[in-house]
A and B are shown apart, each in its own frame.
Chain A
Amino acid sequence: MASEITTSEYIKHHLQNLTFGQKQTEIEPGVWAPTGEWGFAMSPAEAANMGFWSINVDTMLMSILLGALMMWFFRSVAKKVSTGVPTGSQNFAEMIIDFIDDTVRGSFSGGKNKLVAPLALTIFVWVFLMNLMDLIPVDVIPQIVMQSAAAIFGVDPHHVYFKIVPTTDPNATLGMAIFVFMLMLYYSFKIKGTGGFISELTLQPFGKWALPINTVLETVTLLSKPFSLGLRLFGNMYAGEMVFILIATMYGAGLAMGSFAGLLQIGWAIFHILIITLQAFIFMVLTTVYLDMAHQEHH
């Protein structure tokens, strides 16, 4: 039954999110029109044409599940915390919290703000968990989802798409970055005051008389922060997952190529462990640094 799918079809299949939105039909080639009912996109082209009001169900599902897992873990440790003999999980949780606390204490000097450290912990652990999904071999979870969808809903498995790594979806990473940007603006206005913040944006590098140049420079710098924060995580994870997918295409090419691909996959997975933790750490440190800059009182 499985027709011989080409490499690019395989790659495109693994790059497509499970998108839910207004169903589209193709009237003429290249012209798509909504059919008025809601449902899952059955092809990448349809998903692309669903426009703004469509949601990547797999990204949301995986990120919410991983967030719940994180909160359940820390809550379960907090519930049975004992000052006497700490259990294994308590040691592990304490290790993470101490590590985050030192880092935040080092880079955040903005005075009394009880939000920054918990936010840093949440970002680090959550982004790390989301990135960790990239280490699961490419076809495992999507195959499970495809077969179960075919079994339960009787859908043709070739049209069931599922991306398990939420951080390879720019919506997720830019969404988090925009939230950090909103926090930056909130604290800038709150700590510096509207006048202080506006003067920082307009009078900065070249003093009062070069106001237009200052404004352009400062706003570009301000806007580039969330943009680079979000796209850095996306770029690293997307490229990492792409390499996994390309290695996975080698498995279909006979025993020799397959075993060589196995070695490649192990090597890249080990190297990717460093990238996963590093990107989560950088996302956290930069969030702390940006919030710290938002707290800088002007003399």
Chain B
Amino acid sequence: MDMGLVYIAGALMIGLGALGAAIGVGLLGGRFLEAAARQPELVPMLRTQFFLVAGLVDAVPMIAVGLAMYVLFAVAG
């Protein structure tokens, strides 16, 4: 099996996953700051929602990163 392709595949999975997560959490952070600026008294509740949704946004990218690391280290070694 050509090892080079495995590394490229792993890199793509991690890179695209990171791209998606960065855009998602960036937008989320922006909206969070807008809402916090508009209603500062809601910040505690907003913060928990922010972390919850950030975790959900990160779900698929982290699955991709997890599988990429599995492929890179456990398969290619």
Contact = CB atoms under 8 A, between A and B. Distances in A.
Contact of B55 (A15, A242, A282): A282
Contacts of B77: 8, 11-12
Contact of A281 (B52, B59, B63): B52
Interface string A260-283: 000000000000001000110110
Interface in B48-62: 51-52, 54-56, 58-60, 62
B62 A232 contact: yes
A235 interface: yes
Contacts of A44: 74
Interface string B26-49: 000000000000000000000000
A211 B66 CA distance: 36
A250 to B, nearest CB: 16
B67 interface: yes
B55 A279 contact: yes
B65 A239 contact: yes
Q: Interface of chain B, helix or strand or loop or mixed?
A: helix
Contacts of A281: 51-52, 55
B6 interface: no
A278 B64 CA distance: 18
Nearest to B70: A238
Nearest to B61: A235
Nearest to B74: A15
A235 B55 contact: no
B75 to A, nearest CB: 10
Contacts of A228: 59-60, 63
Interface in A221-272: 228, 231-232, 234-239, 242
A242 to B, nearest CB: 5
Given A278-B55, A282-B52, A282-B55, A235 B73 contact: no
Contacts of B66: 231, 234-239
- Closest 8 pairs between A and B when the two form their complex, measured CB to CB: A235-B66, A235-B63, A235-B62, A238-B66, A232-B59, A282-B55, A231-B63, A242-B69
Interface of B: 51-52, 54-56, 58-60, 62-67, 69-70, 73-74, 77
Given A235-B66, A235-B67, 8 more contacts: A44-B74, A231-B63, A235-B59, A235-B62, A238-B66, A278-B54, A279-B55, A282-B56
